[in-house]
Amino acid sequence: MPEVRSSGGARIRYDDVGRGGPALLFIPGWCTTRAGFRDVVARCASRHRVLSVDLRGHGTSEGGDTDFDSGTVLEDLLAVVEASGAEQVVPVALSHAGWWAVELRRQLGAARVPHLVLMDWLVSEPPAPFQDALRGLQSARWQETRDALLGMWLADVDDENVIRFAREVMGGFGEAMWARAAREISAAYAREGSPLRALATLEPASPTLHLYSQPESHDYLAAQVAFGMEHPWFHVLKLPAISHFPMLEVPDLVGVGIEALVSGRETAVNASV
Q: Catalytic residues, which ones?
A: 244
Residue type, 6: S
CA dihedral 153, 105, 195, 50 (to 10 degrees): -20
110 class by beta-carbon count within 10 Å (0-12 exposed, 13-18 middle, 19+ buried):
middle
Decide the pairing of beta strands 234-238 and 208-212. parallel
Whether the CA torsion 147, 138, 34, 251 is positive or negative: it is positive
- What is the CA angle 117-173-215, rounded to 5? 45
CA-based nearest residue to 121, from 246, 264, 256, 258: 246
Which residue spans within the chain are E strands per DSSP? 3-5, 11-17, 23-27, 50-53, 89-94, 116-119, 208-212, 234-238, 271-272
